Structure 1
Amino acid sequence: MNRIAVSISRGIARVTDVALGPYQTAVIRIGFAATWLLFLLREFPHRQEMYGPDGPWKWDLAQRLVADNHAFTILMWSDSQVWFETVYVLAVLSALLLLAGWRTRTMSVLFMVGVLSLQNRSIFMGDGGDNVIHLMAIYLVFTRCGQVWSLDARRARLAREARARGDLPRAGTQDRVGLVLWAALGLLLAAATGAGRLSPGWLMIFWGLWAVQALWWAVGRLARAAEPRILLDVIGNAVHNAALLVIMAEACLIYATAGWYKIQGSRWQDGTAVYYPLHLDYFSPWPALSDLLASHGTIVMLVTYGTVAVQVAFPFTLINRRVKNVLLAAMITEHAVIAVVLGLPFFSLAMIAADAVFLPTSFLRRLGGWAARARGRLFPPGARKLPGQRAQGPRTPEPAEDPHVGFTA
């Protein structure tokens, strides 16, 4: 019994003392923000037909659908062209800032608002990749995804270095940008509440998130005792780790259901399922390449059976790190091939971003080191050093002790 109690206490301490997977959540943040940003930029000339007034799904039909399924979308607050363009630009900017890791707490919420607003306006325009982005945009709100590889982490590191030198006794006390952003969003939320635009459930969610920002700032900047801040850190770590677990379970569920449904299909059973999409014009951006692959029956059969086997087996391989890494590399390669051969780049990017939650930390740290060295070659530190300051080489950033400096980090 004592061993069980010790194991339980260690497990509780593990999920509350630290936010797990800082590099994995950073890759998820970057991956999904980049996928959504690239999609919006590519479809910018066609935005009116996809989500705007010129689309086949007209305003009155969208109103009836939203009233029936109670989906959240701020696009339905007004049918004006100015409002549509404003929401679209908001979606683009929030994705860009989340990608850079600037005020990740606030940007994750605005990113979710942009994704839900556009997708729920025209739900018949999406595919499987859009569904994954839809879900992950919600999960990201509850993660501390700015611990590494973000402007938030850089700001926290600079604040710690300044505090160590005695230049900044209390980090973040002059965070005027956070104060202004928090106040502005509070005014917008109050206006939406007064106009009756939000349902009771979403009112509770948004006002709760807004109040948590204020509580976090007040405790971190005004409380003299350390216990309240430690309590908030424990709660934040527990919520983050729970959201990370949900993301992992969601990725496993996607592959498991896809694999088991494929097993029931006769074309997947006889090994010819991959042959047919290669002959569809819609999925043939490179007809010569599609014809070349389809002409080899052995390759078609191996890819068909291999896809089913990898998808069904992957959730069971998580107990073995080496086997999991091999299948993970196979799935990422498969999605890269789908992006090129079938012309589905954004679906593939979304799935690769979801797969990133299982990437080994050692690999991600090496990846960060390679990126830092590449940045050092492009922008030599010696060119930026101050007089009398010795140039330092690039380094891989470590998880910040406090990645959420200010109101809205």
Structure 2
Amino acid sequence: MSGAGSALKRGVDRATGSALGPYQSAIVRIGFALTWLLFLVREFPHRHALYGPDGPWDWGMARDLVADNGAFTMLLWSDGRLWFEAVYGLAVLSSALLLLGWRTRTMSVLFMVGVLSLLNRSIFVGDGGDNVIHLVAIYLVLTRCGQVWSLDARRARRRAAALARGERPAHDRVGPVLWGALGIALCAVTFSGKAGWGWLLVFWGLWVVQGLWWLADRKGPEDPDRRLFDVLANVVHNTGLLIIMAEACLIYATAGWYKVQGSRWQDGTAAYYPLHLDYFSPWPALSDLMTQSGTFIMLVTYGTVIVQVAFPFTLFNRKVKNVLLAVMIIEHSVIAVTLGLPFFSLAMIAADAVFLPTSFLRRLGRAAGRAGRAVLGRAARLGVPGAGRALGAAAPDLPAGPAPVPGPRPGTAGDGPQPGATDRGAPATGDGVPPRVTSPG
């Protein structure tokens, strides 16, 4: 076989044989779920003015707009306050559960529903970060974002350990109940005529896929139908991860090239002006200090343009990419403080995290695990109720890699079993996991 043919075969094997980037997809899940959850909690006192019946963009105006663009939002199914509170509560709850990685496959769909329902209700509310959350919430549905750092992964490890000991794992009752409840809800929405047929087909398709995975799981991992589902799920996950990467590159490329065309960016003074707008000056003294030096403003202005334009091209060199990635994360952290845009910055950092190297993410996970166990140990010594039990439950979860697990039940994490893999496509065997394993997410 020629060199080109061998390379093509290796590429196809990577795309179909494993779910790549388990740590990257997990950090994106955690980052966006945390960002959206913090935003919803922060704006809870103002929720009626932002997305509810007290907002300047009233229910009738939103209904007319959605009738033209076909956007999805549950908030236009009723103009009652109780319905609004229920949808807002669903958005908060799904964000928290997705952050924890509980039934990630189902929670990613409900997370998307909550994001679309609120953001499409009032499209003029936001600071740019809402657009990123809006897009990534859709892409997360395609990914296996619960392979690591999730309650689903912990449950999968315990199930695999029980099988290794020759024990029969406890039957999962939550998954089928959740799957059935969502099916009943979809039936109610379908017959009510509230949602468009396009979105109904999407939701029914996702619901049916969960049921098919349950049937395939009963046949065993070597069944041809099950193996076909494995391949399809790998392709969907890897495509979704690639789309998130492409979206991040597109954001930076378009932002950078638009800045190049602006006269203030060309003369090196653009960074001065937002620091002296009242809306973007939470710390006026800090803004004044930063703008005292014309040289500093010029370096920040030109540096921002260079980093944004150059970043997509640095993906071909890992070391340069990591340097620019660190620069952009620092830049967004500074923007969060100096311009008062914390949620925009958190959303962009979460999007940037998809490019973080696996070795760094694994070290980060181990450090977070040690810190968590230290906090639980301290709480247990102080006599906090439940801390000792939580510390004992965390002990078996020291391995950070994807765990072997049979395919998911309906409504559980994952579209199906996937081989664990690192971002280089190699089996994640560093934690004692055999090369051919399956993992949730």
Shared fold (TM-score, shorter chain, > 0.5): yes
**Counterpart residue number, 2:154:** 154
Q: 1:385 to 1:181 in 2, by over 3 A?
A: closer
Alignment of 1:10-409 (within 5 A): 10-168=10-168, 171=169, 174-222=171-219, 225-380=222-377, 384=388, 395-402=398-405, 405-407=408-410, 408-409=412-413
Cα distance in structure 2, aligned partners of 1:392 and 1:309: 46
Distance 1:125 1:225, change over 3 A: same
Instruction: Read off the aligned partner of 2:404 and give its amino acid letter.
Output: E
Equivalent pair of 1:376/1:394 in contact (CA under 8 Å): no
Question: 1:110 & 1:127 partners in 2: Cα distance?
Answer: 23
Paired residue type of 1:350: A
Structure 2 Cα separation of the partners of residues 128 and 80 of structure 1? 29
2:428 aligned residue: none
Quickly say closer, same or farther: Cα 1:249–1:157, change in 2 above 3 A.
same
The 2-side partners of 1:355 and 1:273 are apart by 24
What letter is aligned with 1:331? M
- In structure 2, give the amino acid aligned to 1:211: V
Question: What secondary structure is seen at the aligned counterpart in 1 of 2:120?
Answer: helix
Q: Which has the higher helix share?
A: 1
2:160 and 2:111 map into 1 onto residues whose CA distance is: 28
How far does residue 294 in structure 1 lie from its aligned partner after superposition?
1.0
Supply the distance in 1 between the matched residues of 2:334 and 2:406 (Cα, whole angstroms): 36
Q: Which moved more, 1:293-302 or 1:323-332?
A: 293-302
CA deviations on 1:291-312 (whole Å, 9 max, x unpaired) are 1001111111110000000000
- In structure 2, how many angstroms separate the alpha carbons of the residues matched to 1:220 and 1:393? 25
Deviation at 1:53, TM superposition (A): 0.4
Structure 1 residues 279, 181: CA separation in 2 closer, same or farther (over 3 Å shift)? same
Q: Give the TM-score normalised by structure 2.
A: 0.88
CA–CA separation in structure 2 for the residues paired with 1:104 and 1:67 = 31
Deviations 1:346-399 (A, max 9, x none): 00000000000000000000001101111222224998589xx9x969734211
* CA spacing shift, 1:31–1:41, aligned 2, 3 Å: same
- Matched-pair contact (CA < 8 Å) for 2:48–2:55: yes
* Pairs aligned (count): 403
Separation of aligned partners in 1, 2:157 and 2:145: 16
Secondary structure at the aligned position of 1:189 is classed as helix
Q: CA deviation at 1:152?
A: 0.5
Could you tell which deviates more after superposition, 284-293 or 221-230? 221-230
**One-letter code aligned to 1:330:** V
Whether the aligned pair in 2 keeps the contact of 1:376 and 1:393 (CA below 8 Å) is: no
Distance 1:406 1:294 in 2: 57
* Structure 2: distance between partners of 1:384 and 1:58: 50
What is the CA-CA distance between 1:231 and the residue it aligns to? Answer: 1.5
The answer to which of 225-234 and 365-374 deviates more is 225-234
Residues of 2 paired with 1:340 and 1:224: CA distance?
51
Instruction: Say which is worse superposed, 122-131 or 98-107, in terms of deviation.
Output: 122-131
**1:403 Cα shift?**
8.0
Q: 1: distance between equivalents of 2:396 and 2:177?
A: 35
TM-score normalised according to structure 1 size: 0.95
> Quick check: 1:22–1:399 contact (8 Å CA) kept in 2?
yes
Q: Render the CA deviation track for 1:199-220: whole Å, top value 9, x for unaligned.
A: 1211111100000000011110
Which amino acid letter does the alignment assign opposite residue 397 of structure 1?
A
1:94–1:107 CA contact under 8 A, matched in 2: yes
Tell me the distance in 2 between the aligned counterparts of 1:247 and 1:9: 24
Alpha-carbon distance in structure 2 between the residues aligned to 1:293 and 1:396? 45
Pairwise CA distance, 1:223: 5.2
**Shift of residue 250, structure 1, vs aligned partner:** 0.5
Q: What code does the residue aligned with 1:210 have?
A: W
Give the whole-Å Cα distance in 2 for the aligned partners of 1:64 and 1:120: 12
- Separation in 1 of the partners of 2:398 and 2:126? 40
**1:224 CA drift (Å):** 8.1
Structure 1 residues 56 and 204, CA, compared in 2 at 3 Å: closer, same or farther? same
Structure 2 unaligned spans of 5+: 382-386, 414-441
Q: Could you tell me how far 1:60 is from its partner in structure 2? A: 1.0
CA–CA distance in 1 between the matches of 2:220 and 2:165?
23
Cα deviation 1:173-202 (Å, max 9, x = unaligned): x11100110000000000000111121211
1 CA distance for matches of 2:396 and 2:215? Answer: 37
- How far apart in 1 are the matches of 2:38 and 2:395? 34
Q: Which moved more, 1:59-68 or 1:137-146?
A: 59-68
Aligned counterparts of 1:406 and 1:102: Cα–Cα separation in 2: 13
Identity %: 68
